[in-house]
Chains A and B, each alone.
Chain A
Amino acid sequence: MSSRDKILKSINRHLVPAAPLPDMDQAWIQFDNPTEQFLTMLSAVGGRGEVVANLQAVSAKLHEEPFYDDAKQICSLVPNLDISADKQVDLNAIEDPHDLADIDFAIVPGEFAVAENGAIWVTDAQVKHKALYFIAQHVVIVVHASDILHNMHEAYPRTGLNTEAFQQTPHFGVFISGPSKTADIEQSLVIGAHGARSLRVFLVEESFDRAQFK
C-alpha cells in the first residue's frame, strides 16, 4: 500500500463527529476612515505612507527617500518615473533572479491595501521575478487611493485566489505589511532582516492604468 493510501485509510478508519462550516458573513471590523487607519497601521509596522495626487507626485517624492539619490540600481515597474537611465534596471531583460542581488530600490504596483493591518497585496502576475520584492534593499509600493479595503474578509475575495485564472497557471501573491523585520535577539525590534530595509507606500488619488506597468 502506498503511503498516500495508508494515510487516507488511517484517517478514514475514524468516525469523526460532523462539524458544519460556520457562516463567514459576520460583522467584521469597519473603519470610519480606512485610509487613515491604513496609514496608522503601516506606520505601526515600520512602514511609511502618504496620499499623493498622481504618479508625477510620486516621482518628486522619491527624491525625499533616504538613500534614493545614492542608489546605483533601481528597478521600477511604475512607468514615467524620473529615473536616470544608468540606474534603471529592466526586469524583463534579466534572466536569472540572482542578478538582482544589488538592486537598491524596487518600485512596484500593489493591487490593494488593507486598513486593519497595513498590508498590501502584490503578485507576480506582471512581474518576471518575484525575487524583486524581497531582494531589493528598499521597496516602494504604489497603490490606488481608492483600493483600500477594511479587513481581510474583504481582502481575500479581491485576491482572486478562488478564480480559475489563479488555479490554472502557477501564481504567487503576498501580503506585505511593512519592511522586513526581526525581534529574535532579546525581543529587540530590528528593521531590515533579510528583505527590504524600508517600505514606502504611495496612495495615488488620480486613477492610472495598471496595465502599463511591467
Chain B
Amino acid sequence: MAGHAQLADKFVANEERAQWHDKSLWFVRHKRDNISHSIPEWETLRETASQVKLHTVAHLAQYLEEFETNAKKLGVTVHWASNAAEHNEIVLSILQEHNVKRVVKSKSMLTEECHLNPHLEAAGMEVVDTDLGERIVQLRKEPPSHIVLPAIHIKKEEVGEVFHEHLGTEAGASDPGYLTEAARQHLRENFLAADAGITGVNFGIASTGGIVVCTNEGNADLGTALPNLHIACMGIEKLIPSPDHLSLYTRLLARSATGQPITTYTSHFHGPKPGGEMHIVLVDNGRSDILGSDDFRRSLSCIRCGACMNTCPVYRRSGGHSYQSTVPGPIGSILGPSQNAKEHSSLPFACSLCGSCTDVCPVKIDLHHQLLTWRKEIYVRGLLPFSKTFPMKVMSKVFQRPGLYAFGGKVARKALRLMPRWMIYNPLNGWGRQRDLPEAPKESFRDLYKKRKK
C-alpha cells in the first residue's frame, strides 16, 4: 500500500488544485483566528476544557455508568459495543426489529470508523447521509476527506456533475446556491420518507443522560424529529460530567471548526420524542486501550472540530484522502496508528513537527508531541523501513566520535566542491530535485575557531 508521501506527491503534482485546497482551508483557519481573538479568555477556555476532559477520562467507567443510569431513566435503551462489528450488528438489529427500510443519517465519524453504511446496505437498507458534504461524497462513492468539511476537496463544478447525474440538476450548473437548493429538495423527500434517524453524538452528559448533537444544516434535527426511531452512536470518550461543562465546548467547538460563534443548531436530546424510541450505542473500538497510555491518553480529549486539519500545512497540501484513515490530518495520524500501527505507519511522518496543531487545538492535545512519540513506537515495533533506520544508526556512530565526524565532514565537503553538478543532483538526491545544497566551505566552524584561538 502506498504511504502518505506517495499519495501526497500525486496531490501536489496538480499544483493549481493543491494551491486551491490549501487556500480554502487556510481561509477557515483565518476565520477561526479572527473569532478566537475576539474572546479575551480564549486560553483559559482551552485550559479549562482540557482539564475537564482529562478528569472525565480519568473517571470514565464511573461516568459511563452514571450516564447509562440517567439515560435509562429518560426511557433510552443503552447498548454497549466493544468493537466496530458489534456496533454495526446492534444498529442493524434495532433497525430490523422495527422493519426499517430507509434510514437518514447525520454526520457521525464513528459510523464512518465502523463502516456502518455498507453493513446496513448489505442487509437491504437504504442509508442516506444528510449532511450536504457527506451526501456529495456518498454520491461520488468516496470517503469524506475532512471530518467537518467532508467535501472540501471537491470543486463546485464536480458537485454539479454528480448532482446532474443523481439529482437531475441542469448540466453544467455549478452555482452553490442552486446546488444546495437542489439538495434541500432531494433530502427533504428522504427526511419525510425515512423510517429511522441515526445521529452521532458530540457530547454525552453523565449527570443527565442526555446527548448533544451540533449541526449547521439542521439535518440531525429533521432526521430525528420526523421518524419515531432515533439511534445515536457514541464513542465512550464523548462524555462530560455535567451540563455546566457544555458551556466550554459549545464555545470552543464551532469557533475552532469554522470560525462561527456556535453551530446553528446545538440540540440537547434527553430521551425519545413523545411516542418515539431512542437508542444510544456506546462504542469502545480501541478507545479503552488508548486510555491506558500516558503518551496518547490526551488524544481521547478530541472534540472533532477539525481545526488541526485546517491549520496543518501538510494536510492542506496533501488532501484528506492521502491519509487513508477515517480521521485524517494530525489527530488522524495519532488515531490511525492506534487502530492499526502497521497500516498507518507512514502517518506520524507526514508532519514537519511545526506544532501549529497543538496551539490551535481547543482542548490542548499535545498533537505534535504525540506524533513524535508515535514515530518512536513505530521504530520500536520494527515497522520503520531499513532505509530510514540505517542512516540514523550510521550517523549516530559517527557523531559519537568527534574526530571521525570532523574528518567525515571535511571529506564530504571536499567531495561536494569537486563533484560536477550533474553528479550531485542525481535522481537519488531527494534534497536536490527542487533545492540547491548549501555551498560547501573549505573550513568548518571548528577549523576557524581553532585558528582564531591561536
Contacts and interface: CB of A to CB of B under 8 A. Distances in A.
Direct contact of A and B (CB under 8 A): yes
Interface stretch (A65-73, A78-86, A165-173, A202-210): A165-173
Given A156-B247, A194-B191, A188 B176 contact: yes
B222 A194 contact: yes
Given A14-B292, A170-B74, A179 B271 contact: no
B304 interface: no
Interface string B229-266: 00000001000011111111011000000101111111
Interface of A is mostly: loop
B82 interface: yes
Contact of A26 (B48, B250, B282): B48
A57 interface: no
Given A27-B41, A134-B225, A193-B216, A18 B80 contact: no
Contact of A171 (B27, B80, B179, B270): B270
B136 interface: yes
A192 B181 contact: yes
Nearest to A186: B156
B73 A168 contact: yes
A44 interface: yes
A185 to B, nearest CB: 4
A190 B177 CA distance: 6
Interface in A1-59: 2-4, 6-8, 10-14, 16-22, 24, 26-29, 41, 44-45
Given A7-B82, A131-B226, A185-B156, A167 B61 contact: no
B51 interface: yes
A77 to B, nearest CB: 16
Contacts of B131: 184
A180 interface: yes
A187 interface: yes
A162 B243 contact: yes
Interface in B54-103: 54-55, 57-58, 60-61, 64-65, 70, 73-75, 80-82, 86
B217 interface: yes
A44 B261 contact: yes
A67 B272 CA distance: 34
B225 A135 contact: yes
B339 interface: no
A60 interface: no
B414 to A, nearest CB: 53
B64 A8 contact: yes
Interface residues of A, number: 79
The bracket for how many chain B residues form the interface is 35 or more
B86 A3 contact: yes
A167 B216 CA distance: 27
B151 A8 contact: no
Contacts of B207: 162
Which of B70, B74, B218, B225 has the most chain A CB within a 10 Å cutoff? B218
Contacts of A7: 64, 80, 82, 236, 282, 284, 288
Given A172-B269, A176-B264, A194-B191, A182 B205 contact: no
B55 A21 contact: yes
Interface string A108-120: 0000000011110
A156 B244 contact: yes
B80 A2 contact: yes
Contacts of B47: 22
A182 B64 CA distance: 33
Interface in A142-170: 151-153, 155-157, 159, 161-162, 166-170
A174 B236 contact: no
A157 B243 CA distance: 8
A135 B222 CA distance: 7
A101 B225 CA distance: 12
- A-B pairs, top 5 by smallest CB distance, nearest first, are A170-B271, A195-B218, A117-B261, A184-B133, A193-B217
28 contacts: A6-B82, A17-B294, A21-B55, A21-B241, A26-B44, A98-B192, A98-B226, A116-B251, A130-B221, A131-B226, A134-B218, A134-B222, A135-B226, A151-B247, A156-B246, A161-B208, A161-B243, A172-B269, A173-B268, A174-B265, A178-B264, A181-B216, A183-B149, A183-B258, A184-B136, A184-B149, A184-B151, A195-B264
Interface of A: 2-4, 6-8, 10-14, 16-22, 24, 26-29, 41, 44-45, 97-98, 101, 116-119, 124, 128-131, 133-135, 151-153, 155-157, 159, 161-162, 166-188, 190, 192-196
Interface of B: 24, 27-28, 39-41, 44, 47-48, 51-52, 54-55, 57-58, 60-61, 64-65, 70, 73-75, 80-82, 86, 130-133, 136, 149-152, 155-156, 159, 176-177, 179-181, 183-184, 187-188, 191-192, 205, 207-210, 216-219, 221-222, 225-226, 236, 241-248, 250-251, 258, 260-274, 278, 282, 284, 288-289, 291-292, 294, 297
